[in-house]
Amino acid sequence: MNVNIQEFSHGLDNATSLKIESGENHDIDAILDQIIRRFNPLYEELQKEGLKVKEVLNYLAGLGEAVEIHTAREVIRGMVHDIDDDWGLLLRDPSGLMRKFYYGDVRRLVW
């Protein structure tokens, strides 16, 4: 997170900071304190109950959308279908076959 940075290296044209966005300097210690106070209860709940796959689906962008998955060996196109219980991304390819992926660069497509 960029807090009080005003200038960035060449090639970081989209980079921003809290100072750029607000026009004010910010106390990084106070920001970290707020993040930790908000994060700790969530972390403690996660430690007690674990992360539930179906709850993650509420935050999954792209469900039902066309994507490409780039792996080390191939590029696969299809529609994002679901995440299964062992965290694999389920993709329905153009032939209708359901495929599972655990890694790869997922890119949204506009078909």
Helix (H) or strand (E) holding 30: helix 28-49
User: Domains in the chain and their CATH numbers?
Assistant: 1-50 (no CATH), 55-108 (2.30.30.100)
Distance CA 110, CA 55 (A): 27
pLDDT (tens digit, 0 to 9) for every residue of the chain, 111 residues total? 789 999 888 888 788 999 999 999 999 999 999 999 998 988 888 888 877 766 776 667 778 888 999 988 889 999 999 888 788 889 999 999 999 998 888 887 764
Q: How far apart are CA 78 and CA 59, in angstroms?
A: 20
CB 96 within 8 A of CB 78: no
- Cα distance between residue 92 and residue 80, in whole Å: 7
Q: What share of the chain is helix, strand, coil (3-state, %, to 5)?
A: 30, 25, 45
